[in-house]
Amino acid sequence: MTLNDWFKKALREGWAVPHLNISSLEQLKAMVNVALRLSSPLHIGTSSGEAKYLGMRQCVALIRSFREDTGLPIFLNSDHFGNVEEAKRAVDAGYDSIHIDLSREPFELNIKGTKEVVEYAKSKNKEISVEGELGYLRGSSKVQKEVIQINPEDMTDPEQAVKFVKETKIDRLAPVVGNLHGIAANEPNLDIARVANIRVSLPDFVSLVLHGGSGIPDEQIREAVKAGINNIHVNTEIRVVYADALRKFVTENPEETTPYKILPPVIEAMEKKIEEKIKLFGSVNRI
Ligand code: 13P
């Protein structure tokens, strides 16, 4: 099954494919361990910064080796790559999935650049899945002390979404529906009616992606999936667990210098959080 096949299955069956970000081998190990235990597919993302740190070709090789060793459906995504050239480099490096995010550009330029990436990606790899983004997504993947207000004009307009999908021929759309990146001082309030409205306006073969999955109350996540979200991104909550567990271990064991002894408790702590999310998204036992 291709990644797009997994998205179709998720939409048909009413669950969401987990998209989890990595910038270390330990994060990936934790994700693979949980996905194996729970029989869940995995969509692994690297943002631009994460990909620069790990190396695109190294990420591709890592994902491929885990896929071969475990037999898990595990796919690599270029998360929020912000320009056409960078997205093309991810295609060339062998990414299974591309997210080209030109949502800060004027609408027509967003269409033009996204379409160019879709055409390039599909010409190189027929099975690739490409995502575009529409709307103004605030925040970043960290704990933010301030209140982040989402304005009505930040949100994705369903009519624009239809035009955007039709002209770009993307496989997945990332809308702004009250979500934001990271954890803010205020609780997000997803506009579920807008999710449902965008969902019914788009053809079934186009996936709806919820970014900024951290900090959203579980009940809102369930409602969003019911309304047609079939792919959910989480980064910050896993980063927080990683950093807290690492800090705790090195503080309590100041003499320990062996990485493979320092990091297993960190992996274990992340596994708990990842398991929570995979269960919440309903992707357990779907393989
Ligand atoms: P969070 O950091 O809020 O979980 O969002 C991650 C994300 O959307 C990556 O694309």
- 251-284 per-position pLDDT tens digit: 999 999 999 999 999 999 999 999 999 999 999 9
Q: Residues within the annotated binding site for Zn(2+)?
A: 80, 101, 133, 181, 211
Q: What pLDDT is recorded for position 54?
A: 98
The partner residues of 231 in beta bridges, in order of sequence, read 17, 209
79, 96, 171, 191: which is the annotated catalytic residue? 79
Q: How confident is the model at residue 179 (pLDDT cuts 50, 70, 90)?
A: very high
> Is 194:155 a contact under the CB 8 Å cutoff?
yes
Residue of 17, 20, 21, 79 to test ligand 1 pocket, by largest number of atoms within 8 Å of CB: 21
Task: Reduce the DSSP state of residue 254 to 3 states and report it.
Answer: coil
Task: Reduce the DSSP state of residue 287 to 3 states and report it.
Answer: coil
Please give the Cα distance from 279 to 227 (Å, whole number).
18
Q: What is the mean pLDDT of the chain?
A: 98
Please give the Cα distance from 271 to 163 (Å, whole number).
40
Residue of 173, 208, 236 to test ligand 1 pocket, by largest number of atoms within 8 Å of CB: 236
Listed residue (201, 209, 206, 205) closest to 225, CA to CA: 209
> Is 221:181 a contact under the CB 8 Å cutoff?
no
Please give the Cα distance from 161 to 33 (Å, whole number).
37
Q: What pLDDT is recorded for position 140?
A: 96
Quick one: how far is CA 81 from the chain centroid? 12
> Is 99:114 a contact under the CB 8 Å cutoff?
no
Which of ligand 1's atoms lies nearest the C-alpha of 238? 4
Distance 143 CA to ligand 1 centre (A): 11
Which of ligand 1's atoms lies nearest the C-alpha of 215? 3
Q: What pLDDT is recorded for position 123?
A: 98
Residue of 20, 141, 231 to test ligand 1 pocket, by largest number of atoms within 8 Å of CB: 141
Q: What pLDDT is recorded for position 55?
A: 98
Distance 275 CA to ligand 1 centre (A): 17
Tens digit of pLDDT for each residue in 16-55?
999 999 999 999 999 999 999 999 999 999 999 999 999 9
End-to-end CA distance of the chain: 10
Q: Residues within the annotated binding site?
A: 80, 101, 133, 181, 211
Q: Residue 18 is inside which H or E element, if any?
A: strand 17-21
Distance 255 CA to ligand 1 centre (A): 35
pTM of the model: 0.98
Which of ligand 1's atoms lies nearest the C-alpha of 182? 3
Is residue 79 among the annotated active site residues? yes
Residue 6, amino acid: W
Distance 18 CA to ligand 1 centre (A): 11
- In degrees, rounded to 5, the angle at the alpha carbon of residue 154 between the alpha carbons of residues 151 and 158 is 120
Q: Which residues line ligand 1 (CB under 6 A)?
A: 21, 45, 79-80, 141, 181-182, 211-214, 233-236
Token match 């060339």: residue? 92
178's torsion region: left (phi>0), alpha (psi -120 to 50) or beta? left
Q: What pLDDT is recorded for position 59?
A: 98
Domains of the chain in sequence order: 3-281 (3.20.20.70)
According to DSSP, residue 180 is labeled -
> Is 131:98 a contact under the CB 8 Å cutoff?
yes
Please give the Cα distance from 18 to 213 (Å, whole number).
10
Listed residue (210, 202, 130) closest to 170, CA to CA: 130
Distance 25 CA to ligand 1 centre (A): 19
User: What percent of the chain stands above pLDDT 70?
Assistant: 100
